[in-house]
Structure 1
Amino acid sequence: MGWSYRKSMKFGPFRLNLSRRGMGHSWGNRLFRVTRGADGRRTVSVNLPGGFHWRKTRSTR
């Protein structure tokens, strides 16, 4: 198993994520969040009370 690195900084509803692969960012709250990863993938997440959630990921291609 190799070493990894991850650091997350929060600025209100905006979060900046640093990792060995690069930099990503996300914004939103517990119910709705939009994320862009270091590899360029975009993810939209919706979390509802009671454990229900929906997530859609789109690749860069």
Structure 2
Amino acid sequence: MVQPEYRIYEMNKRLQSRTEDSDNLWWDAFATEFFEDDATLTLSFCLEDGPKRYSKKAVYFL
């Protein structure tokens, strides 16, 4: 079994190597490789009007 730290390292490496014009096929391959079908994606960041948090269950990239 692959260690979680290595998977996170590989995921970050893949994200850093993507280009600005990555298409939906790239994102689909990324999601398929690193996430299970029933995964939840949560994004947290701060905008001008305050902190925001978005969650999505069963993420699919069309």
TM > 0.5 fold call = no
Give the TM-score of the pair, scaled to structure 1: 0.29
Q: Which has the higher strand share?
A: 1
Q: What TM-score comes out, normalization by structure 2 length?
A: 0.29
Higher helix share: 2
